[in-house]
Amino acid sequence: MQHLHQYLGHLYVFRLVIEQGSFQGAANQLGLPRSSVSKKLAQLEGFVDQRLLHRSTRQLRLTDAGAALLQATETMAQLMSNTEHLILSHQDEAVGRVKISCSTLMGQRYLLPSIPLLKQRYPKITFQVNLSDKVVNLLDEGVDIAIRTGHLPDSSLVARRIGEKRWGWFASPDYLENRGEPNSPDDLSQHQCLVFSNQTTTIDHWHFSNDDNEIKTIAIDPAMVVDDGRTLVELATMGQGIVMIDPLLVRSELVEGKLMSIFQQWRSPELQPIHLVCLGRSIRSKAVEVVWQALVEGLQRDLIQP
C-alpha cells in the first residue's frame, strides 16, 4: 500500500509546474529533464487516481481535482518554503549556539574579554562558555570549540596552534620580604610552594635550565595544593607562597606589582603548545566557523610571549 508521504516530492513538482506555467519551466527550475517532470506528475495522478491537469500545446489547465489538491497543499508549500529559508539562513548567516571550553585562568584572562566583541559582531550567536580546569570530552559535553594546552592525543580533533605555554616562577613582594628570595632552585625546599593538581595532572616536579645547560628537577613538597588556576594565583598574591605558572597568565599581577618574577637566570626547558580545537563535523556550522576564525586571529595575537 502506498502512502502520501512517498509523494511529497511529486506534490512539490506539481505545484512548481503550475507556478511556472509549463513542464519545461518546472524542469528548468529543478534542473531535471522535461520527461522526468512529466513522469512524476503522471505518477502523482496514478496515486490519486484522477487527472490533475488538462494539457494542450499552448497551456495547462487545472481539473477540479487538481485545483482542490493545489489548495490543500498550500500549507505544505509554505512549510517547505519556510524550511528552505531556515536552512539557507543557517548556511549563509552566523546563527545558533556556540559552546566554548577552556581552563579557568586562560578563560578569564583571554577568552572572556573577546566575547563582547564577538557578540557585537555576531548578534545572532548565543555564546555558552565553560571554564574548568578539567579536560572535557568535546563530544560528550557538546563543546564546539576548546582551548587545549599540551600535546593532543586525539587525532580526530581539528587543531590550530595559537601559542606556546611557558613556565615562570613568581611570589608576592610581601612573601619575598618576609621569607627572602631564593637564589637557586635548590632553595625551594626552604620555601612555601603552591602546587596545581586535579584529576589528570599534578605539577609537583618543577624543571629548570640555564644558559650553562645545567638542568635541575626539583620535587616539591607543597605548602598548599589547589585544583583551580585562578585560586593558585590569588594565593600567591596573598603572600602564601611561590607559584610556577605561565607568565602570560599573570601579566596584570606583574604590571600591578602584586607578583614578582624570581629565578631570573633560570627558565623552564619545557614548552607546551596551545591549540584551539574542535570536532571535525562542528566546523561545518557557519556560527562555529566564524567564531573559530575570530578566536584563531585574536588569540594568536594575545598569546605572544613578552
Average pLDDT over residues 266-287: 80
Looking at the structure, tell me whether residues 55 and 122 fall in a common domain.
no
Looking at the structure, tell me whether residues 140 and 79 fall in a common domain.
no
Query: Please, which residues have CB within 8 angstroms of residue 257's CB and are 6 or more apart in sequence?
Result: 173
Cα distance from N-terminal residue to C-terminal residue, the chain:
74
Looking at the structure, tell me whether residues 159 and 281 fall in a common domain.
yes
Q: List 206's β-bridge partners, or say none.
A: 218
The region that residue 146 occupies, defined by phi over 0 for left and psi between -120 and 50 for alpha, beta otherwise, is beta
Q: What is the CATH number of the domain that holds 77?
A: 1.10.10.10
pLDDT exceeds cutoff 80 at 7: no
Residue type, 248: L
On whether residue 272 sits in a domain, the answer given is no
pLDDT classification of 256: cutoffs 50, 70, 90? very high
On whether residue 156 sits in a domain, the answer given is yes
Q: What is the CATH number of the domain that holds 292?
A: 3.40.190.10
Which grid cell is 195?
A: 602546587
Looking at the structure, tell me whether residues 251 and 196 fall in a common domain.
yes
User: Is-above-0.85 flag for pTM?
Assistant: no
Looking at the structure, tell me whether residues 241 and 176 fall in a common domain.
yes
Looking at the structure, tell me whether residues 173 and 256 fall in a common domain.
yes
CB burial readout 194-218, b (16+ within 10 A) else e: bbbebeeeebbebbbeeeeeeeeeb
Looking at the structure, tell me whether residues 16 and 71 fall in a common domain.
yes
Show which of 64, 92, 120 is a domain's final residue: 92
Looking at the structure, tell me whether residues 84 and 142 fall in a common domain.
no
Which grid cell is 300?
A: 594568536
On whether residue 24 sits in a domain, the answer given is yes
Looking at the structure, tell me whether residues 172 and 255 fall in a common domain.
yes
Give the strand order in the sheet containing 272-279. Answer: 125-131, 96-102, 145-149, 272-279, 157-165
Q: What is the largest CA-CA distance in the chain?
A: 102
Show which of 41, 63, 92 is a domain's final residue: 92
Looking at the structure, tell me whether residues 156 and 220 fall in a common domain.
no
| SS3 annotation, the chain | CCCHHHHHHHHHHHHHHHHHCCHHHHHHHHCCCHHHHHHHHHHHHHHHCCCCEEECCCCEEECHHHHHHHHHCHHHHHHHHHHHHHHHHHHHCCCEEEEEEECHHHHHHHHHHHHHHHHHHCCCEEEEEEECCCCCCHHHHCCCEEEEECCCCCCCEEEEEEEEECCEEEECHHHHHHHCCCCCHHHHHHCCEEEEECCCCECCEEEEECCCCCEEEEECCCCEEECCHHHHHHHHHCCCCEEEECHHHHHHHHHCCCCEEECCCCECCCCEEEEEEEEHHHHHCHHHHHHHHHHHHHHHHHCCCC
On whether residue 105 sits in a domain, the answer given is yes
Residue with cell 598574591: 237
Tell which wins on pLDDT, 239 or 45.
Answer: 239
pLDDT exceeds cutoff 70 at 124: yes
On whether residue 291 sits in a domain, the answer given is yes
On whether residue 148 sits in a domain, the answer given is yes
Average pLDDT over residues 73-89: 65
Domain residues for the domain of 134 are 100-163+277-302
Q: Which of 128-132, 228-232, 302-306 has the lowest mean pLDDT?
A: 302-306
pLDDT classification of 285: cutoffs 50, 70, 90? confident
Q: What pLDDT is attached to residue 4?
A: 63
Looking at the structure, tell me whether residues 18 and 44 fall in a common domain.
yes
What's the Cα-to-Cα distance from 221 to each of 78, 170, 174, 189, 198, rounded to whole Å? 70, 17, 21, 7, 16
Looking at the structure, tell me whether residues 67 and 148 fall in a common domain.
no
Question: What is the domain count for the chain?
Answer: 3
Residue type, 240: Q
On whether residue 251 sits in a domain, the answer given is yes
Tell which wins on pLDDT, 55 or 194.
Answer: 194
On whether residue 270 sits in a domain, the answer given is no
On whether the CB atoms of residues 157 and 277 are closer than 8 A, the answer is yes
Show which of 34, 67, 92 is a domain's final residue: 92
> Is residue 219 classed exposed, middle or buried when 0-12, 13-18 and 19+ CB atoms within 10 A define those classes?
exposed
